[in-house]
Structure 1
Amino acid sequence: MLKEHKLLIDVGNTSIKSALYGPESVSIGLISRHSDVQELTTLITVAKSVYLSNVGKDEITSYIQDVCDTNDIPLFIAKTQSSAFGLINSYSIPSNMGVDRWLAMLACMQKSSSKTFLVVDVGTAMTIDAVKNGHHLGGWIVPGAALLKQSLFKNTHRVFSDNKNLSLTSFGNDTPRCVDNGCKAQILGTLLMADQEMKKNVDKFEIFLTGGDRNLFSSLNMQNIIEHENLVLEGLTLFVD
């Protein structure tokens, strides 16, 4: 890796992703996934600068900051703003919004010609944010598929699952299928309700779908769904100078 490359880091609730972004890059390069922040050490030390989005533990930011300081490498830590790049936040206290949601919306602002869209991120949590003409209308935060199942197991005595992939929404005829199919139905239902809610405001809009569990929506026949795997990293590129 050459020293002129910038290192983009996206720290989520359960995963860490990084990517290189060069001076002539028009898109993000190879995405790397890491199980531990220490795996980033070598990448950081040979980068020209580092751009970080972190919704995970504060200790991860501290570690990255220490490595950058030790090696005299500039570190940009993304924060949610009241407005940026034509997007106006609806939150009265912007810092209460996870920066991953903010960066994902900023990335979608560059992709949407109408600046009117939903951003659906399906991971540990499922977040939905609505934007109309560049104005954030608000959003929802609900448990993701794994958290839904964990909640059932934790708070009930006779409910269990076989941990198969969530692939169906038909009515189950045993407890594992009832759990798996029901959790997928709840996730899909959240998106369908968001689609209905958005239609109260506008007639046409895009739905940008991202997150590790976005494949759960593969069965939906909705023409306005657009998949993008790395919206948070793409949002970070807007701050690269």
Structure 2
Amino acid sequence: MNLAIDIGNTLAKLAIIDGGQVVDFLKTEQIDTAYIEKLLKANPGIDAAVIVSSRDTDEELERFLEQRMKRFLRFDQNVPVPIVNRYATPGTLGADRLAAAVGANTIYPNSDILIVDFGTAITIDVVSGGEFLGGNITPGAAIRFKALHHFTKKLPLCSLNDNPTELFGNTSVSAIECGVVNGIVYEIEGYIRDLQRKYSDLRIIFTGGDSNFFAKRLKNTIFATYDLVAYGLNRILEYNAE
């Protein structure tokens, strides 16, 4: 079994993968050697690990994994991947975005794919025919809510909720909630519309913490998965062992 670790800006996400399939998925705000030690004791079949981090490198954690695993890989822009990277500045590309692109191409090999990752930031990326073409980065929902609260004197701090979103709000809270949610929905719908004009058989994948929330609010046929990066990391780990 393989362990894929994605350390994001807010949470660390860990996937246990057996035979190419995610069999367990965990999230934690705090990840350290004690946490991993407990995980490995509960899953003694794990003998390989791959890690990607949006934060500073945790050298102690990586040394621990190197010592405990038969195979260990820290994924960054210097690691070979099984797709072509067309990003003009590969050194500035977030490794998690590239891992998600590999994961998307693993699910839909050599297809035209739109990947929307609803995290702290929302990334909108395109893979076509086994090539990562690039994408855009925009503030995620939490950032938008916090910005409205921080940069104004009277607007309250709001957040996503599961109540149906109307077209317009009739209170300050509902106006903010509708404004942020509908703004993101219309934004993504615009990308889908324009890309479907270019790619007749466009595949759409939503991932990230808020992916299910927004998948329910868009009309298109969407594959939503919380572990796209994990699938990509696992494929990269296996690719570098071939």
Calculate the TM-score normalised by the size of structure 2.
0.85
Q: Which of 88, 95, 109 pairs up with 2:91? A: 95
Where does 1:1-241 land on structure 2 (aligned, <5 Å)?
Answer: 5-22=1-18, 25-38=19-32, 39-43=35-39, 47-55=46-54, 57-59=55-57, 61-69=58-66, 71=68, 74-80=71-77, 84-85=81-82, 87-163=83-159, 165=161, 167-214=164-211, 215-223=213-221, 225-238=222-235, 239-240=237-238, 241=241
Decide whether aligned partners of structure 1 residues 162 and 10 sit closer, same or farther in structure 2, where only a CA change above 3 A counts: closer
How far is 1:203 from its partner?
2.1
Question: CA-to-partner distance for each residue in 1:74-101, whole Å, 9 max, x for gaps?
Answer: 420112369732x222212212111111
- The answer as to whether partners of 1:115 and 1:131 remain within 8 angstroms in 2 is yes
Q: Residues of 1 paired with 2:75 and 2:105: CA distance? A: 17
Q: Which stretches in structure 2 are left out of the alignment for 5+ residues?
A: none
How far is 1:50 from its partner?
1.8
Q: Which stretches in structure 1 are left out of the alignment for 5+ residues?
A: none
How far is 1:105 from its partner?
0.9
Number of matched pairs: 231
Q: Residues of 2 paired with 1:164 and 1:202: CA distance? A: 32
Q: Residues of 1 paired with 2:73 and 2:158: CA distance? A: 43
- The answer as to whether partners of 2:3 and 2:16 remain within 8 angstroms in 1 is yes
- The answer as to whether partners of 2:215 and 2:224 remain within 8 angstroms in 1 is no
Higher RCO (C-alpha 8 Å, min separation 6)? 2
Q: Residues of 1 paired with 2:66 and 2:131: CA distance? A: 37
How far is 1:152 from its partner?
0.8
Letter in 1 for 2:64: V
- The answer as to whether partners of 1:41 and 1:67 remain within 8 angstroms in 2 is no
Q: CA-atom RMSD, angstroms? A: 2.3
SS at match of 1:84: coil
Q: Residues of 2 paired with 1:137 and 1:50: CA distance? A: 28
Decide whether aligned partners of structure 1 residues 227 and 207 sit closer, same or farther in structure 2, where only a CA change above 3 A counts: same
Q: Residues of 2 paired with 1:134 and 1:114: CA distance? A: 5
Q: Residues of 2 paired with 1:94 and 1:162: CA distance? A: 36
- After alignment, is 190-199 or 158-167 more displaced? 158-167
Decide whether aligned partners of structure 1 residues 106 and 221 sit closer, same or farther in structure 2, where only a CA change above 3 A counts: same
- The answer as to whether partners of 2:111 and 2:128 remain within 8 angstroms in 1 is yes
Identical-pair percentage:
24
How far is 1:205 from its partner?
0.3
Decide whether aligned partners of structure 1 residues 14 and 226 sit closer, same or farther in structure 2, where only a CA change above 3 A counts: same
Decide whether aligned partners of structure 1 residues 52 and 151 sit closer, same or farther in structure 2, where only a CA change above 3 A counts: same
Decide whether aligned partners of structure 1 residues 207 and 82 sit closer, same or farther in structure 2, where only a CA change above 3 A counts: farther
Q: Residues of 1 paired with 2:168 and 2:204: CA distance? A: 27
Decide whether aligned partners of structure 1 residues 176 and 92 sit closer, same or farther in structure 2, where only a CA change above 3 A counts: same
